Structure 1
Amino acid sequence: MTSTTEQLTAQVSATTLLRFATAGSVDDGKSTLVGRLLHDSKSVLADQLEAVEHASRSRGQEAPDLALLTDGLRAEREQGITIDVAYRYFATPRRRFILADTPGHVQYTRNMVTGASTAELTVVLVDARNGVVEQTRRHAAIAALLRVPHVVLAVNKMDLVDYAEGVFGAIAEEFTAYATELGVPEVTAIPISALAGDNVVEPSARMDWYAGPTVLEHLETVPVSHDLTGCHARFPVQYVIRPQTAEHPDYRGYAGQIAAGAFRVGEEVTVLPSGRTTTVSGIDLLGEAVDVAWTPQSVTLLLADDIDVSRGDVIVPSADAPATTQDVEATVCHVADQPLAVGQRVLLKHTTRTVKAVVKDIPSRLTLDDLSQHPAPGSLVANDIGRVTVRTAEPLPMDSYAHSRRTGSFLLIDPADGTTLAAGMANESFAAPAEAPGADDEGWDF
């Protein structure tokens, strides 16, 4: 079995899967756009379409309401808004898709963070009549923070502004300037009418002034990077396997999902946070021994030396080991109803490890209107985006989010009831190297 980097990269690059999310304000037409994509790309089964038609007739609508293809919760249908993240899977001859249709209401911005956290592309919808609003800016800021590589601005309801080129141009210019200031690397603006189907799957005859791709054409052709050579290989241990069988009396394997990069038999690795070094002596994949494995495969690693490894440890190549730290500087999206305050005790979940932590400082909160930083807010409330410094009870091998979306992210959790408080993205640098936990560990004063 070959294990050359060139052939490995070629294998993964052949995968034609795109994960993308939708975002936008209430009533901008996200669910209708998703329904139109599914319907016009022939990705809706006959019984699903029949159920939508029946539900639409019962609500007094003559034409099928395609938004019902994604708004599956009863409360969503009754209120006419999306509440939960709806995941849909569909395919065309050119590519497979995993779609996260996220809510637009400001109350459910936290769900947009969930849906976009693994996305390679985000479609931000704007109502052509309203233009760029605060929620549009918030979604652009979240896409930038989550480092989503591609952003599509879909200016919807062009049929309600007489398909005016000037309206589209003004919105596209304002949004692109704002997104560029946030650091979004690429914005593609497309004028559409999800209700009428203009420029969603088929080109619109009513907007001959637009020569760009339709939404589906762009989704099918946008480049998705699977370059493994530049990844920092990371393997968070999820479970230690010791079958204790007569056939394998000394078997000790470390199971989990490769978070990034690739691992090879014979490679020298380091176990963090302990810093112990050893060699990969074997890799088991679906019951078969392989020479190499890569993200996002779930495997069992076998190590040459009998060293202490447990759940929450991270196995990394010795030549590419991150520093461990107890002082995490990060940008967070606060998603809970209760505020996050300086001095608050929390749990920090990073990959498969959960540790005690204390919020030491909240230096600033982002002001969405002008992208300025409001200094020393003291606390963050629901939907705020701010910078925090968190002190953990144990050292963590955390990458910066810019280098790894998997091992540079974490959650802050309420230790009392398990509520997720905030989703965090570690900054480029950390405050200090790891030290021994403070003497008052029980008091969480690290």
Structure 2
Amino acid sequence: MFSYFCQLISPLIYGYFNKLEELTCYFDEILSERTAHSEIIRIYVLILFNCGQYQKVIDLLERLESLDAVECGMHILSYNHLKKSRQCLSLIEKYESILLNSSRENIPAIFCIGAEIADAMFNKDLATRYEEIVKSFPDGEAFIAIQDFVKKSNEDRSRHKEFTQDLYQKYINLGKPLVIAEQLIRYLDPQESMAANQLIELAETVLERREFSEERYLDLAQAFITTERWADAERLAIKNIDKGLAVSKWRLVQAAALQNQGKIGVAYKTFEEVIKSENIGKQEKDFFINLSLSLGLIDNVVELLEDNLINSTNVLDKIFIIRRLIAIYMNRAEYEQKLKAAVLKYGEFIDHNNCDQEGDYLQLCTLLCPFENDEQVSDYTERRDKYLEKFPDSTVFKMGNINIDEGAEGLLESLRNMLGITPEQIE
């Protein structure tokens, strides 16, 4: 009994920590030895369905001799997700009595799908019967409203925002049913002020019943940021950091929330932890660097980046760090000597055959003249000539002759030629 209880509770734990994909490996291993073990299959299909592995759900369910209402629903919805409408409708008809005798919350949604498919296949009688079944459920009108919203949105995507607000109004009119809240929250834009407030309202309702996915939690965080609810954004970030979910993204949220609450010291500590982490992408690092610079922590940022450069063994990381240091050095007179050395070091690490990187380096050399001897000048000249020959259409670095003999028009024409601006673009 204890072993079976652990089997049941494990998927919940893995789901909470967003590790369901990892859990599937263990079940695959067990099923390779017990291919027809019904209890394992029944637990496993729940995980697979939540992971979106619908064909695998179908294959495993069809090994079982009988299905309960939950499994019937997964069987039907898996075919629906795979766009196999005919099989989906056939299963709804097959499992109709099992579904109607169930108290599962998604049963009306299944009959909504059946009504839509039947209508598309010109089976009006069946479509009407399924619509009447949906209306007989307590939240039947809510399910019909959702189905109508999805249908309209698919037919005219340009009016999606309008249809979303129509569904929100329906949500209010019907007494705020949970089923609409769960669906509507996926379609609201968290970067738009009104929608962000609506999303927060809906989230409060849904979170009383269940946890969100990682993506939905990030939408909620964005809604808090849009509405400047910084303390709420910070609490949400801490919750997900503690769970170990998408930590680098949640550090971004946490740092922004701290900054906007005036907690500069704590924001900097967060920055320090992240910038030293190896498990974070360049975009996230860039965000933290810019955030700390905006807080006036320039010297601290320089010190951290320089330390990170010394300890880094990854060439791409070194390129990223040096380029960020160059950008900082350029704005501070006291870093003039470091700036020139950094530009030359940047030239050593970058890929000479990369149009953007090499062009960026050559442009820096042209602007800053970091050379200390004739050998460095000669190297620059050779790389410049090769670059111009290899990348004649580069938008990063170009050279040309400026015509000053024909006045302003001659100068403009020279600049247009160098920048690759055509007469058609001017028009």
Per the normalisation by structure 1, the TM-score is 0.21
Between Structure 1 and Structure 2, which shows a larger proportion of helix residues? 2
Query: Which has the larger Rg?
Result: 2
- Structure with bigger strand share is 1
TM normalised by structure 2 equals 0.22
